[in-house]
């Protein structure tokens, strides 16, 4: 079967599961975790675009998420803008900021690019911490508003509540749109160029491809998705401080892509749920929770370098070969 249809089939299966999920979850806290995981899907899809398709590891994804979160929060809290308008404008603003970051950063390659983006994430985090008159600093900003009620075909849809099913639907829709956008890019000529850069950038340059422009495009779209994730996060949690936007969260975004399957569409979805749920299930380890979590990630990276999705696909093919015997 064509890999295109395999990816589409995997996404359809995940989509059907997402639709059925609210009816299967009875504990509100688990619904809260699912909403956070879906926000992470958007973040991870953006990370996968630059890391999985282009082959450039950016350590600034959480920083862009923070820019989006604070931009949306300040517009809604300080200026009284509609949350819906803030959510719509945030990806565009974050994308514009990323052009200023990506323009010089993408002049370097490999580990140098990773180091430059790491520095940018540290600068963003420091700015959010330092300019407390605007960002609230470590004390943060409270009472970040939720989206206003929607009147859909005469029915009022309310987005209040920590485990709100309606906010789950909103975030799921955003995650589906983010994944669809990445799929459309991958299936286009632009996507083919991005993959060619990952495979052999020197060869792509030699045949006249302006690789720098394509890399900047992927970086900007990646940052825009991170900004959208930040906006959804801020208006969901209702409280905002810089802590979730440090370098450690950028590393988690990288790990989500690696765990799920770098360069696949379903991999970031699985990886996002893993990095959100795994630490929660390891709470039983008490003080050793973070150590255990780190060991699991290290072991997974060493023994599953291609991620869970490609490995799962290989297992499925082998099982299928055992069941379906070729005709003599």
Domain range for 196 is 17-245
pLDDT band at 245 (very low <50, low <70, confident <90, very high): very high
Decide if 190 is inside a domain.
yes
> Is the separation of the CB atoms in 320 and 275 below 8 Å?
no
Q: What is the mean pLDDT of residues 19-37?
A: 79
Lowest mean pLDDT among 8-12, 40-44, 55-59: 8-12
pLDDT band at 285 (very low <50, low <70, confident <90, very high): low
Q: List the structure tokens of 45.
A: 């899809």
Decide if 212 is inside a domain.
yes
- How far is the C-alpha of 216 from the C-alpha of 59, rounded, in Å? 15
List Cβ<8 Å contacts ≥24 apart for 78-82: 82/148
pLDDT in tens, 164-221: 788 888 999 999 999 999 999 999 999 999 999 999 998 988 888 888 899 999 999 9
The percent of residues above 70 in pLDDT, for the chain, comes to 82
Which pLDDT value is given to residue 213? 92
Q: What is the mean pLDDT of residues 146-166?
A: 75
Decide if 27 is inside a domain.
yes
Decide if 31 is inside a domain.
yes
Decide if 255 is inside a domain.
no
Question: The whole model's pTM is what?
Answer: 0.87
Query: DSSP string of 206-265?
Result: HTT--HHHHHHHHHHHHHHHHHHHHHHHHHHHS-B-SGGGSHHHHHHHHHHHHHH-TT-S
- How far is the C-alpha of 214 from the C-alpha of 54, rounded, in Å? 9
Q: Which residue has better confidence, 134 or 306?
A: 134
pLDDT for residue 116 is more than 90 = yes
Decide if 275 is inside a domain.
no
Decide if 83 is inside a domain.
yes
pLDDT in tens, 55-97: 999 999 999 999 999 999 999 999 999 999 999 999 999 999 9
Decide if 120 is inside a domain.
yes
Total structural domains within the chain: 1
Kindly give the residue spans of alpha helices, DSSP state H, lying in the chain: 3-24, 28-48, 61-77, 83-105, 110-130, 132-135, 165-187, 189-206, 211-237, 247-260, 267-281, 289-303, 308-323
């Amino acid at each position: 079967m064509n890999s295109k249809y395999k990816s589409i089939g995997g996404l359809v299966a995940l989509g059907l599961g997402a639709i059925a999920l609210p009816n299967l979850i009875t504990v509100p806290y688990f619904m809260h975790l699912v909403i956070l995981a879906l926000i992470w899907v958007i973040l991870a899809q953006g990370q996968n675009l630059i890391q999985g398709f282009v082959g450039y590891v950016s350590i600034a994804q959480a920083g862009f998420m923070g820019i989006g979160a604070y931009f949306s929060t300040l517009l809604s809290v300080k200026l009284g803008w509609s949350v819906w308008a803030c959510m719509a404008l945030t990806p565009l603003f974050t994308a514009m900021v990323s052009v200023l970051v990506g323009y010089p950063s993408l002049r370097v390659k490999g580990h140098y690019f990773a180091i430059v983006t790491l520095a940018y994430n540290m600068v963003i985090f420091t700015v959010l911490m330092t300019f407390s008159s605007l960002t609230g600093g470590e004390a943060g900003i409270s009472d970040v508003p939720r989206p206003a009620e929607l009147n859909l075909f005469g029915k009022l849809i309310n987005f209040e509540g920590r485990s709100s099913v309606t906010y789950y639907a909103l975030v799921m829709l955003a995650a589906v749109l983010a994944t669809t956008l990445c799929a459309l890019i991958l299936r286009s000529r632009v996507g083919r160029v991005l993959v060619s850069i990952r495979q052999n950038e020197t060869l792509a340059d030699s045949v006249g491809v302006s690789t720098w422009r394509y890399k900047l495009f992927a970086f900007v779209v990646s940052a825009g998705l991170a900004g959208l994730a930040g906006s959804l996060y801020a208006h969901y949690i209702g409280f905002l401080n810089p802590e979730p936007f440090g370098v450690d969260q950028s590393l988690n975004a990288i790990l989500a892509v690696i765990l799920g399957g770098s360069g696949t569409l379903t991999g970031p979805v699985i990886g996002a749920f893993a990095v959100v749920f795994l630490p929660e299930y390891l709470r039983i380890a008490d003080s050793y929770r973070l150590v255990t979590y780190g060991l699991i990630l290290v072991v997974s990276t060493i023994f599953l370098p291609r991620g869970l999705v490609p490995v799962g696909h290989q297992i499925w093919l082998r099982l299928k070969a055992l069941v379906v015997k070729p005709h003599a």
